[in-house]
Chain A
């Protein structure tokens, strides 16, 4: 009798209260995680999750949950090298990173100017974005990242709604191969074929689409 009563209490408490190790993602986002290594996301990515352009911290708000989860996992493993994010990702549990990603995906993201390949392309950034540089096997950016670079599925992240600083820093990590978390070097080979001028211009182009 005693045992079964305890069993009942355990079942009920399990069903109606959060297990001790699960933490509210909103709390991790704004106050940090249970592990002191997990600094509040909002510290660098902003209270609205829209990033901190001047310092190169990206927008997380509105990014697909599966993309975010994969990035955390890649920071942890080092295929996406980043000295700030790697220890944070390692201190973050898998469940917490998933819960955070789901929450972040639902946060509002900036409006983006609609542009397709049908538009006339002027200047090196727009030409790369809408026409590519096929003599170097570089497809139009929008061929994979979607019209206006709004992103496609869990694999091809949005380019618009990110700052020029962030986009440029990422292109450079692809070029240095400290970021190599793509399939079959699909992004890596493109980044390595770009000139410095093109990296600047195309980063600015996509950043300007959400201004």
Chain B
């Protein structure tokens, strides 16, 4: 037996050594990404420049809440998502609603609630809708920390100017409209490996690693991501993770529509338990969405348990 072991070990070490030698030391190739490099992008500060003082610690706390929301702001989270699921690269990535693009645009009027919102109110909206939870009080530590993190990421950015890469890009709707059957096929081929066959996400232990896209642990019907146009922009730029820009605009629309043709937690603004009344007040003029529409014989919007 011994000679076999020795031979195998030698063989494996040689093959490992060969593997190392064949690879030429390279400067990393630039990955082509059609959605990037269109305009010069704002660069948020590097992590190592964060000062070691009370401000730096508050920013770090904000970062921790942002990337691990359930663990660090549990009382305000009602689903399986983290902020960074929709705001990639810990809120830094252009075309993924980066915090540096949002922070400098507030206070701002929002049609959503028909008033001028402070940045704190904007953050509260994320918790109420995208996180399907409770808005943290404006003077809470959670809001203070997330505001500090956003402010720091926006260091040097001009206020009141729409920076290139803010929010998600608008991409054109398919000429013949979206197609749920095509979306389903794209989902099965490219998305389900991470998000699961039924959009249920995937966990490691008890915590979600890949976010649930619909169902009770996903964002609710009041979240901006329920708009097919918004989801299509996010998907086109950012999905599959690390391969943003590889789906066509049409494919992004089809798969966004498929995702948003499933039931999810109800809109917390629901009026008198009526999907139709809620649709007329909040969804009729809110981009392209399927709230209150009949899909596969069922009216969407009643909400999951």
Contacts and interface: CB of A to CB of B under 8 A. Distances in A.
Interface of A: 39, 43-44, 52, 54-57, 83-84, 116-118, 120-121, 131-134, 136-139, 142-144, 146-147, 150-153, 155-156, 165, 168-169, 172-173, 175-176, 178, 183-186, 189-190, 192-196
Nearest to B22: A176
Nearest to A155: B193
A116 B68 contact: yes
A147 B90 CA distance: 15
Contact of B243 (A146, A172, A189): A189
Nearest to A178: B19
Contact of B242 (A55, A138, A152): A138
Given A57-B12, A169-B16, A147 B207 contact: yes
Interface of B: 1, 4-5, 8-9, 11-13, 15-16, 19-20, 22-23, 25-31, 33, 47, 60, 63-64, 67-68, 71-72, 84, 88-90, 92-93, 190, 193-194, 202-205, 207, 209-210, 240-244
A172 B176 CA distance: 45
A152 B210 contact: yes
A150 B205 CA distance: 9
A117 B84 contact: yes
22 contacts: A56-B16, A57-B9, A84-B12, A118-B71, A120-B47, A132-B89, A136-B28, A136-B30, A137-B31, A139-B88, A143-B241, A147-B204, A151-B204, A152-B204, A172-B20, A172-B22, A176-B19, A176-B22, A184-B190, A195-B25, A195-B26, A195-B27
Given A131-B47, A147-B207, A55 B9 contact: yes
A134 B68 contact: no
Q: B11, B28, B84, B190 — which one has the most chain A CB atoms within 10 A of its CB?
A: B28
B204 A186 contact: no
A89 B190 CA distance: 28
A54 B10 CA distance: 11
Contacts of B30: 136
A34 B108 CA distance: 73
Nearest to A149: B204
Describe A's contact surface by its main secondary structure.
Answer: mixed
Nearest to B9: A55
A117 B25 contact: no
Contacts of B207: 147
Contacts of B11: 83-84
B1 A43 contact: yes
Contact of A152 (B12, B33, B209): B209
B242 A175 contact: no
With most chain B CB atoms within 10 A of its CB, the pick from A151, A152, A168, A176 is A152
Contact of B23 (A139, A156, A176): A176
Contacts of A136: 28-31
Given A132-B89, A134-B93, A184-B240, A173 B72 contact: no
Contacts of B204: 146-147, 150-152
B202 A153 contact: yes
B63 A118 contact: yes
10 A-B pairs with least C-beta separation: A146-B204, A118-B64, A117-B67, A172-B19, A55-B9, A134-B89, A118-B68, A169-B16, A137-B31, A139-B242
A175 B23 contact: yes
Contacts of A52: 9
A32 B285 CA distance: 68
Contacts of A151: 204
Contact of B31 (A131, A152, A186, A193): A193
A118 B63 CA distance: 7
Contacts of A189: 31, 242-243
A141 B5 CA distance: 33
A83 B13 CA distance: 12
